[in-house]
Structure formats: C-alpha cells, structure tokens
Amino acid sequence: MSAKKSSKTNVPKTALPREIAVPTPSNKSQDGEFERAGKAADFIFSQTAHRPKIALVLGSGLGAFADEFAGATKIPYAKIPHFPQSTAIGHAGKLVIGKVGAIPVAGMQGRVHLYEGYSAKEVAFPIRVFARVGVKAVILTNAAGGIKREFVQGRLVVISDHINLQGVNPLTGQNDERFGLRFHDMTSAYDRRFREMAVGEGNRMGIGMFEGVYAGLLGPSYETPAEIRYLRAIGADLVGMSTVLEVITARHSGIRVLGISCVTNAAAGILDQPLNHLEVLETAERVKGQFIGLLKAVIPRIAEAIA
C-alpha cells in the first residue's frame, strides 16, 4: 500500500510527453473545401442584397475600379470565413460588391499568390467561393511582362491560353464532384466569345488590342533572360505570377473566363535594363483609366452572354 502510494507520488508531472499526456485536438475546421466555400458565400450573402453573376479579380493597381461600383458593400477579406489575406503591395484585400451600370458584380481588390507562401488551393479558394455564390463568369486581370516584342509597356493583352509553370495544380487530391469533374477540359479555358468581345470593345475604344499566351510562373523573383528565351521558345507571349490556378479552378466549375494582362514591362533581357517592381506599379497606374474603360465596356456584353 505504501509502496503504491510512493510510486504514484514519485512520478514527476512532466514524465509523459505532452502529446500523450494532453491530447491536442486540432482547432482546424473539419469542413471540406465545398463547405468552407459555402460558409464564405453565405457570409457574403448576409452582407449584401446583390447577387452577382460576374466576378472580377483586380490585379496590381486595378483595385481602384471597384471603388467606382455603385451601391457597394466592401468586405475585408479578413472578415470572410476561410478567405486568404493578400500581403502584396497594390492589393487592398477587400471584396467589393456593387453595380457597374445595371449589372451587379463582385470585385476582388487584390489576390493572393503562391509566392506569398499560400498553397495552390488557398490561391484558388476565392474562385471556389464565387462558384458557391453562383458566379457564371470571371474576369481575371494581372500585370505581366511582355515576351512578344509587340507587347510593349502599357499594352493591354487579352489572354488566349496559358502555360502553367507554377509546378502545382489546385485540383490535386480528392475530387469533389459538387464542384466539377475529375479531369476537366482546358481546351477553351479562355472563352472565345469573351475574347472577341474584349478585342472588339478595345478596338472600338482605339486601344490596339492583341491576344497572347500567358505563362504563369511561381516567382517572386523575376525571370532571367535565359528563362525568357525558353518561355518564348515554348510559345509564351506574356509572363506573370498569377491567374493560371484561378483559371483552372474556374473552369472546373464551368465558370467562363476572360483574362486580360496589362504589360507593365518588357520581360527580362528584352531591353538592356533591370526589372523593378516600382516600374510595374507605375505602368499599371498609368494604364488604369484605359483598363477600367475596357472593363466597363466588356461587362455589359458578358452579362448579356451569360443571361
């Protein structure tokens, strides 16, 4: 009896590894992506009476467009359940829901990127939310380096196709058929009708419009001149660090896509000068008015096409 007692009191409180002594249940939600996106969508619905069918992802410098939406509700990403937070400069981190003319739209002021340390699924999560909100068309914008010689600084280019060189795909792992099929088609990822509309509206506005293939790289370093020569050789006209994962995810759920790049700089090695992020931001700022004009012209056409 006394031996038993002493053995008990002799056991130091810290003798067992913490993992065994104190089971640590995960605080993480057990919900899958579909449920998490549904919760985010429900939260958005609770904040606004608008029910947008068109969403925009506004890249570097373009976020200001959403400040023009009429009757808008602005929701910081931090308030939306499970939504990733953007850390990049020039990305405000708000979802703005309002009207462009008579058309309700949702505009993301900034996105998150793989290079910030997010996973492919996190980068694509806002598109999952748009799918749950009932969005039918998404307009993705970005800043890009021009590989094709005609794609000089300040040019707006409609993306005709992409090459995913980010090394990941947001759809790896178990497929949730409530979003879409396991092996979904990417042949016409960038909607042909939308591309014609954007080129047509741009030309009508006097912006010489071009189309090109966008190569999505991981970043955050800009490319080397040798990498740009390689990208040109494999058929890329533009290079950037975003968009491709969002497009893959949108197409998984049948959301139609328009992609437009603002060429903020000639890609590395094309001009005899180094690249810098300030130049990217300055060019995006300079072209902003034209870019916003183009979006305003295209949105009603897209709304008609998806009606």
Establish if 240 lies at the interface with ligand HPA (CB under 6 A): yes
**Residue 177 CB partners (closer than 8 Å, separation 6+):** none
**Residue 87 CB partners (closer than 8 Å, separation 6+):** 112, 116
Helix runs in 60-191, H state only: 120-133
Distance (Å, whole) CA 62 – CA 109: 8
The DSSP output letter for 149 is T
Q: Kindly state the smallest distance separating residue 59's Cβ from ligand HPA, in Å.
A: 9
Which residues form the catalytic set? 60, 91, 113, 115-116, 143, 241-242, 265, 277
Measured from the CB atom, is 131 or 239 closer to ligand HPA?
239
Of 275, 299, 302, 303, the one binding ligand HPA by CB under 6 A: 275
Q: Which helix (H) or strand (E) holds 108?
A: strand 103-109
Angle at the Cα of 267 from the Cα atoms of 262 and 272, rounded to 5 degrees: 130
Q: Kindly state the smallest distance separating residue 136's Cβ from ligand HPA, in Å.
A: 28
Measured from the CB atom, is 217 or 302 closer to ligand HPA?
217
Q: Kindly state the smallest distance separating residue 246's Cβ from ligand HPA, in Å.
A: 15
Establish if 265 lies at the interface with ligand HPA (CB under 6 A): yes
Distance (Å, whole) CA 236 – CA 95: 31
Establish if 259 lies at the interface with ligand HPA (CB under 6 A): no
Q: Kindly state the smallest distance separating residue 213's Cβ from ligand HPA, in Å.
A: 14
And the tokens for 17? 């590894």
Establish if 267 lies at the interface with ligand HPA (CB under 6 A): yes
Binding region for ligand HPA (CB under 6 A) out of 85-93, 131-139, 202-210, 236-244: 236-244
Distance (Å, whole) CA 180 – CA 136: 14
Query: Using CB under 6 A as the criterion, which residues of the chain lie in contact with ligand HPA when the complex forms?
Result: 143-145, 222-223, 239-241, 264-265, 267, 275, 280
